[in-house]
Amino acid sequence: MSKDSEPRVDSTLSKGLAILEELTGMKSGIGVSDLSRELGLTKSNTFRLLQTLTTLGYVRREPDRSYAATLKAWQIGRSVVENLNLRAAASQMMLYLSEETKETIYLAVRDGLNIVYIDKIESTKPIRSWNPIGGAAPIYCVGTGKALLAEDYRLLRDQVAANLQQYTDRTITDVEALDKDMAATKLRGYAIDTGEFRPNVLSFGAAIHLPNGETAGALGVSVPDINLGEGDSDRIGALVQHAASSVSENLRRL
């Protein structure tokens, strides 16, 4: 028998959180008795725990005297996501992409109909694309943006459609074309920008997901067209896609 020395677990805290979990999982309130049965606790114990959770603001009493979770747990959880540093989670993969491509790597999140760059690694090659951290770009024009757009295309389509501005001769200004491109992007698994925002600057992007499937951001590689040889496009696309899903995997472990 291996004396694993199980870490000691405070039972009160454990039970309290169990109650909270149970409660948040229910659409409507539940009574003390049912709850205690559910969790295999004594009524009095359950009652006291509910009492403390209530005074702490995690639980409230419904008018029908049953107990229900408040949104406090959610509010707390939200700040985790807010503080969740995508940059930290993505940094290894960004380095990897940089090594593999020697091009400029971007990490971007969506902000309305734009994307905002929250991190980047400069290209080591002489000719490089330029975009400052904190800078923005239209969502339908660049690799990262298109990757993000494809994720929520149903929600964003009409909005974007109403604002299709032309930046280069490659820019997609036709909704039908955008529809097709988004469909293709979804199939492909990563997005391609053929110089639609800055002339002769191509880019590739793939989305990063939170554990629940929500879109958290996107990774992208930006490449001057003259740097791009035959077949490079596919290779970089695949790399970005892989990197993004790897970051998503990282987030899953948080």
Partner DNA sequence: ATGCGTATTCTATATAGCGGAACAATGAGC
Partner DNA sequence: GCTCATTGTTCCGCTATATAGAATACGCAT
- Cβ-based nearer residue to DNA, 61 or 235: 61
Q: What is the C-alpha to C-alpha distance for residues 137 and 110, in angstroms, rounded to an integer?
A: 10
Q: Is 246 in the site for a copy of itself (CB under 8 A)?
A: no
CA nearest neighbour of 217 among 232, 227, 206, 233: 206
Q: Is 173 helix (H, G, I), strand (E, B) or coil?
A: coil
Q: Is 47 in the site for DNA (CB under 7 A)?
A: yes
Where are the extended beta strands (E) located within the chain? 59-61, 67-69, 104-111, 114-121, 136-138, 191-193, 201-209, 215-224
Joined together, the tokens standing for residue 78 give 């939200």
- Binding at 43: pick from a copy of itself, DNA, none (beta carbon under 5-8 Å per type): DNA
Distance in Å, CB of 146 to a copy of itself, minimum:
18
- Binding at 44: pick from a copy of itself, DNA, none (beta carbon under 5-8 Å per type): DNA
- Cβ-based nearer residue to a copy of itself, 110 or 190: 110
Q: What is the C-alpha to C-alpha distance for residues 40 and 21, in angstroms, rounded to an integer?
A: 14
- Cβ-based nearer residue to a copy of itself, 82 or 169: 82
For residue 32, CA distances in Å to 24, 25, 26, 38 come to 15, 16, 14, 10
- Binding at 65: pick from a copy of itself, DNA, none (beta carbon under 5-8 Å per type): DNA
Q: Is 24 in the site for a copy of itself (CB under 8 A)?
A: yes
Q: For a copy of itself, which stretch binds (CB under 8 A), given 36-44, 152-160, 188-196, 220-228?
A: 152-160
CA nearest neighbour of 93 among 202, 206, 178, 188: 206
Q: What share of the chain is helix, strand, coil (3-state, %, to 5)?
A: 50, 20, 35
Among 32, 41, 53, 239, binds a copy of itself (CB under 8 A): 53
Q: Is 83 in the site for a copy of itself (CB under 8 A)?
A: yes
Residues that bind DNA (CB under 7 A): 8-13, 15, 31-34, 41-45, 47-49, 65-66
